[in-house]
Structures are given as C-alpha cells and as structure tokens.
Amino acid sequence: MRPSAIMCRQQEALQLAKAQSETLESRRAIALTAAKAWGLAAKAADERDSKQTPLDKLDAEIAQEFLDEDAELAAEALGGDPVTDPLAADPTGRVHNFPPPLPKPERHG
C-alpha cells in the first residue's frame, strides 16, 4: 500500500517537530533527514495522484451509471419509486434501493 500525500506531510511535520525539540545534534540530523524523505514521498504521492485522477473520475461516472440503472430496475420490480434507507446514506449522495421492510409479526399472548 502506498502512503497518501496527507500522511506523508503529517509524518514530515512530526519529524520537523522532533528535530526542533531534540537536544542531541545526531538525533536532530536523523529527524531532519526523515522529514526530507517524507517530503519527497509526499511529492511523489501528489504526482501519482495527479496521473490517476482522470481515470478515477471516469471509473466513478461508470459506476454511478450502473447504480442508477440498478435503481431503475429495482423501482420497476417494486412497482414504483425505490425505497430509500436513511441509515444507508452514502457520502457521495447516492440513493441505495431496498425492498420495503417486512411487517412486524403479531404476538398472540
């Protein structure tokens, strides 16, 4: 798994803070070297992400088309509008389709 640019920058900041608080010169040098390496890793992650973005957007659009088609098919099968579940909210704002809930069984006592 490749580290994200955000994680690399967090580690870079952590190492810079260690270098500033360190009293031993050798440990300060190690922390500064680590911070420099994390900074380079963040730049590499940014470059990697910038190359993948157009493909990722296209993949997301294709996936959304499939989800929309599934929603239409589910609505047809249910005889109307899709049933949405607020507990299944997706951060992307998509609507998930579910069959209507089953009625609760009656208790005979």
Strand, helix or coil for residue 64: helix
pLDDT tens per residue across span 47-92 = 888 777 566 777 878 888 888 888 787 777 766 655 454 444 455 5
pLDDT tens per residue across span 1-20 = 788 889 999 999 999 999 99
How high is the pLDDT of residue 57?
Answer: 75
Q: 83: which residues sit within 8 A by CB, 6+ positions away? A: 97, 98, 99, 100
Output Rg (C-alpha) for the chain, integer angstroms. 25
